[in-house]
Amino acid sequence: MPERHLVTLTDSEGTTAVVAPELGGWLLRYARKLPEHGSVEALHFSQAVVDRYPREMYAGIPVLFPLVSNNRTGDKEHHYEWNGRLFEMPQHGFARRSKRPTGISRLASGISTKHAWRWLFAVSGTAK
């Protein structure tokens, strides 16, 4: 598995987050310093989990859009139906598979999303 570019964000109080922009902005690790306990891991990072992407993603917090589960219409897995038409959609949508620039997260409708999600959308966020 090729090495993934991971970004570590840390604030002035020592809170740390590890994000993988090229894996859809997947939050892989989150730790925060607590006065009586020191640094506490809320999400534990594991390189083995990153190496299984996209076959398995069961740790961290991926960005799930526009669907949050497996979709099925009749005997067609990974499809949904709208107004009598079938549309293909991967499990949990396409957001987690889209690459994002470091520190800026923007996902918007376009040619690459139109086949799966016909509606216009834009979601953005900035890591500071």
Chain segment 37-83, per-residue pLDDT in tens: 988 988 877 778 777 766 776 677 777 777 777 788 888 888 888 88
Six-digit token pair at 72?
Answer: 């099925």
| Residue 72, CA distances (Å) to 17, 85, 94 in order | 34, 13, 16
Q: Is 118 within a domain?
A: yes
Between 2-11, 12-21, 97-106, the lowest mean confidence (pLDDT) is in 97-106
The pLDDT of residue 128 is above 50:
no
Q: What CATH number has the domain bearing residue 57? A: 2.70.98.10
Contact 20, 63 (CB under 8 A): no
Residue at 75 is within a domain? yes
Q: What is the Cα–Cα distance from 121 to 111, expressed in whole angstroms?
A: 12
Q: Which residue range forms the structural domain that includes residue 118?
A: 7-126
Residue with more model confidence, 55 or 109? 109
pLDDT digits (tens, 9 = 90+) for 10-48: 888 888 888 877 777 778 888 998 889 988 988 877 778
User: What's the rounded Cα separation, in Å, for the pair 97 and 1?
Assistant: 16
Average pLDDT over residues 4-11: 81
Domains held by the chain: number = 1
57 in a structural domain: yes
Q: Which residue type, as a one-letter code, is found at position 69?
A: S
pTM reported for the whole predicted model: 0.57
Classify residue 2: in a domain, yes or no: no
Q: For the range 42-50, what are the long-range contacts, defined as Cβ-Cβ under 8 Å and sequence gap of 24 or more?
A: 45/18, 50/1, 50/4, 50/6, 50/20, 50/23
